[in-house]
Amino acid sequence: MSNDSLKIPQATAKRLPLYYRFIQNLHSSGKQRVSSAELSEAVKVDSATIRRDFSYFGALGKKGYGYNVSYLLSFFRKTLDQDEVTNVALIGVGNLGTAFLNYNFMKNNNTKIQIAFDIDEKKIGTTIGDVPIYHLDELEQVLQEKDIAVAILTIPASVAQRITDRLASCEIKGILNFTPARLNVPSSIRVHHIDLAVELQSLVYFLKNYPGVEEAKTE
Amino acid sequence: MSNDSLKIPQATAKRLPLYYRFIQNLHSSGKQRVSSAELSEAVKVDSATIRRDFSYFGALGKKGYGYNVSYLLSFFRKTLDQDEVTNVALIGVGNLGTAFLNYNFMKNNNTKIQIAFDIDEKKIGTTIGDVPIYHLDELEQVLQEKDIAVAILTIPASVAQRITDRLASCEIKGILNFTPARLNVPSSIRVHHIDLAVELQSLVYFLKNYPGVEEAKTE
């Protein structure tokens, strides 16, 4: 990975996985080139934003021709390190956690949920979506054995900080936090927070205050 | 709502529900004033960003004093229209949908999931988290009766567009899309998209490319 990637805006970085997914789809369907207008229609990001995003990576396309799909595919695969799998643990196998385990986002992707943890004896020792479920008591030991870099938190907010503190004592580098709790972590851990209540409230706020304004939908 | 709110940046608007939640917590705990540094610590947004966000709303605080909690609370309640409830329907009562219905995000909030839809006969006629589940065949009729403005999509991607087309024929104004599908909608409907795979991939990308860079966690 070149150092150039350090200079791209974070908003652009957040859209890369989305572009990658649709370029995969285009490639699978046999398409050989694509214009920014077509990409825009598919990913619902305006084409000026797409052209600006792509421009950070140098000349990916040609004026009047568009982008070569195979080239884009190999470029994004490399940029997103698709060939290097990041091992993920999921903590909390309730409804939300189960949805994640059943969801196929580990396919065609550079992330794989390898293990899950819960405290419900009925779930421990079983698998969901091929992912084995361990007792939370074994957290530290199993995380180390399986070389886990990222944890998804789908646990009650009331225990989120306590479990985060335990994760901080392991080699965890990133947390995807689905609880409403705001987590205190050492600077070595990056937290992305997805608060479902805030997402819904935010949508309602936009409906009331930005009627008719198009959103850059992947912000 | 004054027209001033139309001028605030969308990134700021997205943080408002988050601020509101923590100001509610502060108020409940009896706190009377708060500094931007304390707010920053609680919501994990840097204090310069908080001060800039708040500045769009005029003089909410005083230098050397901080912000008055009661004033902030009433200000945000008004700004976020907390007194006007938006009725929400959830479509697809699988694991993810069930997690939503059990999740208490309708409490202390200006949104309420009033109804859910599924096609599983075992679920229809039951309630989860007090929300009644209807058959999808009744979608158009029930949405109209209940004055529903927003739909949450927790259905398989393969049927997402078809159901979106049905929603477009009703009075739906906003869709919170949890499927990986990108939806085509008329300009009268606003879509916010939360793609769990993209969120995970994005976290991994940041871990690899922005080591040690603090994120504005609510972007």
**In-domain check, residue A206:** no
Q: How far is B73 from chain A (nearest CA, A)?
A: 16
Q: Are both A122 and A170 inside the same structural domain?
A: yes
**In-domain check, residue A59:** yes
Tokens at A122, concatenated: 């009925």
Contact A198 B17 (CB under 8 A): yes
pLDDT in tens, B17-39: 888 888 888 888 888 888 888 88
Mean pLDDT value across residues B125-137: 94
**In-domain check, residue A151:** yes
Tell me if chain B has a CB within 8 Å of the CB of A13: yes
Q: Residue A202 phi/psi, 5° resolution?
A: -65, -45
**In-domain check, residue B207:** no
- Read off the amino acid at residue A142: V
Q: How far is A84 from chain B (nearest CA, A)?
A: 11
Contact A219 B16 (CB under 8 A): no
3-state helix, strand, coil in chain B (%, to 5): 45, 20, 40
Q: Are both B108 and B183 inside the same structural domain?
A: yes
**B64 in a labelled binding site:** no
Half-sphere exposure of A174 (CA within 13 A, CB side): 27
What does the DSSP assignment read for A138-177?
GHHHHHHHTT--EEEE-S-HHHHHHHHHHHHTTT--EEEE
**In-domain check, residue A209:** no
Per-residue pLDDT 10s for chain A (219 aa) are 444 444 677 778 778 888 888 888 888 888 888 888 888 888 888 888 888 888 877 766 777 778 888 888 888 888 777 667 889 999 999 999 998 898 755 555 678 899 999 999 999 999 998 899 999 999 999 999 998 999 999 999 899 999 999 999 998 999 999 988 889 999 889 998 888 877 888 888 888 777 655 444 433
Mean pLDDT value across residues B191-215: 77
- Looking up residue B110, the CATH number of its domain turns out to be 3.40.50.720
Domain extent, residue B116, equals: 86-198
Q: Are both A113 and A155 inside the same structural domain?
A: yes
Q: Are both A120 and A59 inside the same structural domain?
A: no
Mean pLDDT value across residues B98-113: 75
Q: How far is B81 from chain A (nearest CA, A)?
A: 8
**Which of the given ranges, A55-69, B70-84, B177-191, has the highest pLDDT on average?**
B177-191
Contact A197 B110 (CB under 8 A): no
Q: Are both A54 and A74 inside the same structural domain?
A: yes
**What residue of B is the nearest CA neighbor of A18?**
B198
Collect all residues of chain A within an 8 Å Cβ-Cβ radius of residue B57. Answer: none
Q: Are both B107 and B53 inside the same structural domain?
A: no
Q: Are both B123 and B167 inside the same structural domain?
A: yes
Q: Where are the beta strands (DSSP E) in A10-145?
A: 33-34, 61-62, 66-68, 86-91, 111-118, 127-128, 131-135
Tell me if chain A has a CB within 8 Å of the CB of B193: yes
Short-list A10, A21, A216, CA closest to B14: A216
- Adjacent-strand bridge partners of A174: A150, A190
**A97 in a labelled binding site:** yes
Collect all residues of chain A within an 8 Å Cβ-Cβ radius of residue B198. Answer: 17-18, 21, 218
Helix (H) or strand (E) holding A61: strand A61-62
Tokens at B130, concatenated: 């007090």
* Whole-number pLDDT of residue B154: 95
**What residue of A is the nearest CA neighbor of B78?**
A205
**Cα–Cα distance measured from residue B15 to residue A5, given in angstroms and rounded to the nearest whole number:** 27
Collect all residues of chain A within an 8 Å Cβ-Cβ radius of residue B214. Answer: 187
**Cα–Cα distance measured from residue B175 to residue A203, given in angstroms and rounded to the nearest whole number:** 8
Mean pLDDT value across residues B50-61: 78
Contact B180, B195 (CB under 8 A): yes
**In-domain check, residue B114:** yes
User: Complex ipTM, two decimals?
Assistant: 0.72
At residue B84 the predicted structure's pLDDT band, cuts being 50, 70 and 90, is: confident
Q: Are both B22 and B100 inside the same structural domain?
A: no
Strands B66-68 and B61-62, sheet pairing: antiparallel
**In-domain check, residue B211:** no
Where a domain ends, among A78, A97, A126? A78
Tokens at B109, concatenated: 């909030």
A window 68-127, beta carbon within 8 A of B: 80-81, 86, 88, 94-96, 98-100, 102-103, 105, 109-111
- Looking up residue A66, the CATH number of its domain turns out to be 1.10.10.10
* Whole-number pLDDT of residue B207: 84
Q: Are both B186 and B100 inside the same structural domain?
A: yes
Q: Are both A122 and A148 inside the same structural domain?
A: yes
Q: Are both B154 and B192 inside the same structural domain?
A: yes
**Cα–Cα distance measured from residue A202 to residue B51, given in angstroms and rounded to the nearest whole number:** 20
Tell me if chain A has a CB within 8 Å of the CB of B187: yes
- Adjacent-strand bridge partners of A116: A90, A133
Q: Are both B18 and B102 inside the same structural domain?
A: no
Domain count, chain A: 2
Task: Look at A59-68, B59-68, B178-187, B205-214 and tell me which has the smallest mean pLDDT.
Answer: B205-214
Cβ count within 10 A of residue B158: 9
Collect all residues of chain B within an 8 Å Cβ-Cβ radius of residue A114. Answer: none
